[in-house]
């Protein structure tokens, strides 16, 4: 798996499969910023080879579909986004998602635009009923970014954070098809056509 079923494109954003030849260097450069890794499991890659290996893992992981996300206007990679291969549970089709957006693009409207592309796709085309995502409660960017998209808190538990060496609150968020349909309309539409 790993390879996504299709490219997704709208406005100035493109989701396409990871290309190790093209994406490893921009990925390595952007992931040298430790701010990208405060709340994630893996460490800052120590070399280009290691960065490439991380991307390759996303690309070939059997449980996910992973895309490289590009800003077409600036011909630049903005990060990586992945979703879980959909599964059935309790009569519901579920998946999960996670992303690494390069720091220079945080809070620029691109993450929100990317969410619009990916969630329209999963709910309208893949037939998913419910997306799930986990974040440490102190990962303010991640929690607020999800809440702004309509995710709601489903669970919060204490879990050992090996990177920080302490127990921390971890949140599980859920976004249903209805949450997404009824999401806050105040979103800035970063170079995307307006909703119809």
Ligand X SMILES: CC(C)(COP(=O)(O)OP(=O)(O)OC[C@H]1O[C@@H](n2cnc3c(N)ncnc32)[C@H](O)[C@@H]1OP(=O)(O)O)[C@@H](O)C(=O)NCCC(=O)NCCS
Q: Which residues bind ligand X (CB under 6 A)?
A: 36, 39-40, 98-101, 106-107, 111-112, 135, 139-142, 144-145, 148, 188
Task: Kindly state the smallest distance separating residue 139's Cβ from ligand X, in Å.
Answer: 5
- How many alpha carbons fall within 13 Å on the CB side of residue 187? 26
Contact 26, 77 (CB under 8 A): yes
Query: In whole angstroms, how close is the CB of 111 to ligand X at the nearest point?
Result: 3
Calculate the CA 13 to chain-centre distance: 14
| Minimum distance, C-beta of residue 155 to ligand X, in the bound complex (Å) | 16
- Give residues with Cβ within 8 angstroms of 145, minimum separation 6: 111, 112, 115
123 with 117: CB under 8 angstroms?
no
- Residue 125 beta carbon to ligand X: minimum distance, rounded to whole angstroms: 22
When the beta carbons of 95 and 139 are compared against ligand X, the nearer one is: 139
Looking at the Cβ atoms of 19 and 33, the one nearer to ligand X is: 33
d(CA 58, CA 53): 9
Question: At its nearest, how many Å lie between ligand X and the CB of residue 195?
Answer: 17
The counts of H helices and E strands in the chain are 5, 9
DSSP 8-state code for residue 37: G
Which are the contacts of 25, defined by CB distance < 8 A and separation ≥ 6? 48
User: Could you say which DSSP state residue 124 is in?
Assistant: I
């Amino acid at each position: 798996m790993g390879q996504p079923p299709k490219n997704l494109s709208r406005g100035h954003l493109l989701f396409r499969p990871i290309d190790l030849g093209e994406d490893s260097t921009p990925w390595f450069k952007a992931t040298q910023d430790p701010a990208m890794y405060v709340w994630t499991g893996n460490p800052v890659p120590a070399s280009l080879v290691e960065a490439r290996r991380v991307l390759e893992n996303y690309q070939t992981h059997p449980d996910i579909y992973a895309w490289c996300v590009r800003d077409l206007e600036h011909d630049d990679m903005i990060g990586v986004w992945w979703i879980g291969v959909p599964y059935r549970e309790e009569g519901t089709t579920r998946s999960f998602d996670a992303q690494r957006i390069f720091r220079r693009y945080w809070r620029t409207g691109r993450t929100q635009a990317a969410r619009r592309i990916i969630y329209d796709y999963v709910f309208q085309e893949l037939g998913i009923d419910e997306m799930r995502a986990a974040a440490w409660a102190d990962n303010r960017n991640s929690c607020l970014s999800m809440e702004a998209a309509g995710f709601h808190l489903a669970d919060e538990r204490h879990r050992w954070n090996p990177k920080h060496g302490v127990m921390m609150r971890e949140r599980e968020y859920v976004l249903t098809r209805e949450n997404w349909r009824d999401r806050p309309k105040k979103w800035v539409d970063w170079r995307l056509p307006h909703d119809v």
